[in-house]
Amino acid sequence: MRYLVVDDDEASCRGVARRLCRFLSTDDDVACAFDAEEALALMRDRPVDILVTDIRMGEMNGLQLIEAVRQQKLCAASIILTAYDSFSYAQQAVRLEVKDFLLKPCSEAALRESVQRVTASLLAQRNERMGVTLEQLHQAICQGEALGSTRMQALLGAHIPQMVRLVRLNGVRSDVLSWPGRWSIADEQRRFMLVDDNLDSLKCWLAGADRVDLTAGISEAGNQLGEMWRQAGKALHVCISCGNVPAVLYQPELEREGLSEGVLQALYFVAAHLGEPIDMQHLCNLLHINYSYFSRLFKQQMGSTFSEYLLYWQMKWAKQALLGGKRVSQVARDLGYMNSENFSRAFARSQGVSPSRVQELRRTGVTNDVQLV
């Protein structure tokens, strides 16, 4: 669990943090911020579970901070620790669903009781969400429920997803289960389904883990959760983990009969890493497949060599990059070419037009394929 203590009195702030560290688990993370603006910046970088904040602080007070983090979903629960026993403050705290309102001076026993109670409640809510809800959601998916149906809205609440992101995690601490994302469920295999959220905040949440092995499959946008789940699962299944936290988009054009898993993984790898140098030997190592065998298998199933296939799609990507304003030298470096001349020759052979001509047409506003040929 992650905790953030906010108080413009630095000594008081550090003192509360030290108290928390005395009774929390050694796996828990306790941070300090000395004004609301600093707290917001910290939470945008790494969301927290529980915020413990003073009220009267500089330009933004603690209640305004709580309102901001609720809107941006940067923490899951808040506790106020203040010297001001104001009925108006208490009313605002209730409206903001603050979990506890403690008055200074606060004993360590009272602080411990409050934090442990809020922590236990938070974990209980998440355990329930990741258990019963997953079963109900899976049943609804199997029965073909549309996202807009009354039943699905009851299960998902306000967070109706536009697409599905399935994330597989290996080698991380169990506290990832407390990630305060907008909506998530987990199965027993530690595979997470994230809906209506991006992956950046999850990556930040995992930043403290000793080793993170994360792969993600992302569906197309749609309104049939079952189909989106299938698409994301397909992308996740063929996603190759290669140490740079890949997220693979489902590719409907790769849905074809007769492709072996190794070839399909290679196609998805190319799609996910266009704009980067791709080496066939490195890819074979990732696939744990013999180089010569893969070369023959790819040509047999795709009708072209892997090098021909890769060159075609890399040059298609290069053309879009040039049309987007990238310099020829930068595109060449992105694709791993030693110099721009070699890249320009390969581009002209593939696309029937030179990179400089593409840039010239871009400057004149002529950018469609017909006019480039």
| Per-residue model confidence (pLDDT) at position 132 | 45
Verify that 106 and 147 share a domain, yes or no: no
- Residue 230 domain-assigned (yes or no): yes
Verify that 28 and 107 share a domain, yes or no: yes
Verify that 340 and 364 share a domain, yes or no: yes
**DSSP result, 142-180:** HTT--TTSHHHHHHHTT---SSEEEEEEES--GGGGG--
Verify that 199 and 142 share a domain, yes or no: yes
Verify that 77 and 27 share a domain, yes or no: yes
Give SS3 for 83. Answer: coil
For residues 202 and 207, give the distance between their C-alpha atoms in angstroms, rounded to a whole number: 9
| Per-residue model confidence (pLDDT) at position 192 | 56
- Residue 297 domain-assigned (yes or no): no
- Residue 296 domain-assigned (yes or no): no
Verify that 134 and 118 share a domain, yes or no: no
| Per-residue model confidence (pLDDT) at position 373 | 43
Q: Among residues 208, 200, 209, 207, which one has the least CA distance to residue 182?
A: 200
Q: Among residues 54, 7, 50, which one has the least CA distance to residue 32?
A: 7
- Residue 43 domain-assigned (yes or no): yes
Verify that 51 and 133 share a domain, yes or no: no
How many Cα atoms within 13 Å fall on the side-chain side of residue 330? 8
Verify that 23 and 138 share a domain, yes or no: no
| Per-residue model confidence (pLDDT) at position 205 | 52
Verify that 263 and 321 share a domain, yes or no: no
Cβ-based neighbour number of residue 92 at 10 Å: 19
- Residue 352 domain-assigned (yes or no): yes
| Per-residue model confidence (pLDDT) at position 274 | 85
| Per-residue model confidence (pLDDT) at position 123 | 67
Last residue of a domain, one of 104, 123, 142: 123
Is the model's pTM score more than 0.75?
Answer: no
Verify that 283 and 353 share a domain, yes or no: no
Q: CA angle 20-21-24, nearest 5°? A: 80
If DSSP states are collapsed to H, E and C, what string results for 96-123? CCCCEEEECCCCHHHHHHHHHHHHHHHH
Tally of domains within the chain = 3
Neighbouring residues of 333: CB distance < 8 A, sequence distance ≥ 6: none
Last residue of a domain, one of 255, 288, 321: 288
| Per-residue model confidence (pLDDT) at position 27 | 58
Q: Among residues 125, 122, 126, which one has the least CA distance to residue 186?
A: 126
Verify that 104 and 186 share a domain, yes or no: no
Supply the CATH number for residue 348's domain. Answer: 1.10.10
- Residue 298 domain-assigned (yes or no): no
Supply the CATH number for residue 51's domain. Answer: 3.40.50.2300
| Per-residue model confidence (pLDDT) at position 287 | 87
- Taking the chain (373 residues) in runs of 10, the rounded mean pLDDT of each run is 91 92 76 93 88 91 92 88 87 90 89 86 62 60 69 60 70 47 49 56 54 71 77 80 64 84 90 88 90 93 94 93 92 92 93 90 66 46
| Per-residue model confidence (pLDDT) at position 62 | 92
| Host domain of residue 6 | 2-123
Packed helices 261-272 and 306-323: angle between N→C axes, nearest 10 degrees = 20
